[in-house]
Amino acid sequence: MDGIGPRDIMARKCNDCFSISEIVQYEILGFAERGEGAQLIESGATSLPSGRLPVKAGGGLIGDGHPVGATGVRQVAEAFTQLTGKAGARQIDGTERFLTCNTGGSVRTSVVVVWEAF
């Protein structure tokens, strides 16, 4: 609606409650073509620090656990630390826009927010 597309997002945090969930989100959000989400990961594009589409600088749910309900709060906290340049060793350089995507109910419910630094 605001004209921001996948190429305008510097960093992202997708809900990776299951491996396939993250892959599907890459495709739905336009970071990968349909059916090519796994190849995006295999290419190294989502890896830190050198990937062109950095994802999960904070470690994702493997680092956070799976606190149902609190996952979105954790995503917002990561967006804030990245956008304010306070993420330390996991800082993604040049982050001015950060996308959070939280899904539930087998990808039936999704909340996507693009956060911007001011």
Task: Please write the tens of the pLDDT for every residue from 93-107.
Answer: 889 999 998 887 665
User: Under a CB-based contact definition with an 8 Å cutoff, are residues 99 and 75 in contact?
Assistant: no
Grade residue 70 by pLDDT with cuts at 50, 70 and 90: confident
pLDDT at 112 over 80: yes
- Under CATH, to which class is 6-116 assigned? alpha beta
What is the spatial distance between Cα 74 and Cα 108, in angstroms, rounded to a whole number?
A: 21
* pLDDT of the residue at 108: 73
pLDDT at 110 over 70: yes
* CB contact set of 91 (below 8 Å; sequence gap of 6+): 57, 82, 85
Grade residue 82 by pLDDT with cuts at 50, 70 and 90: very high
* pLDDT of the residue at 106: 63
Direct distance between the N- and C-terminal alpha carbons of the chain, in angstroms, rounded to an integer: 20
Higher pLDDT, 66 or 45: 45
pTM for the whole structure: 0.84
**H helices within the chain, ranges in order?**
19-28, 37-42, 60-64, 71-83
* pLDDT of the residue at 12: 87
* pLDDT of the residue at 107: 58
Cβ neighbour number for residue 91 with a 10 Å cutoff = 17
The pair of three-digit structure tokens given for residue 96, joined into one six-digit string: 């001015």
Task: Please write the tens of the pLDDT for every residue from 5-56.
Answer: 888 888 888 888 877 888 988 999 999 999 999 999 999 888 887 778 888 8
* CB environment 72-84: b (16+ within 10 A), e (fewer): bebbeebbebbbe
* CB contact set of 109 (below 8 Å; sequence gap of 6+): 103
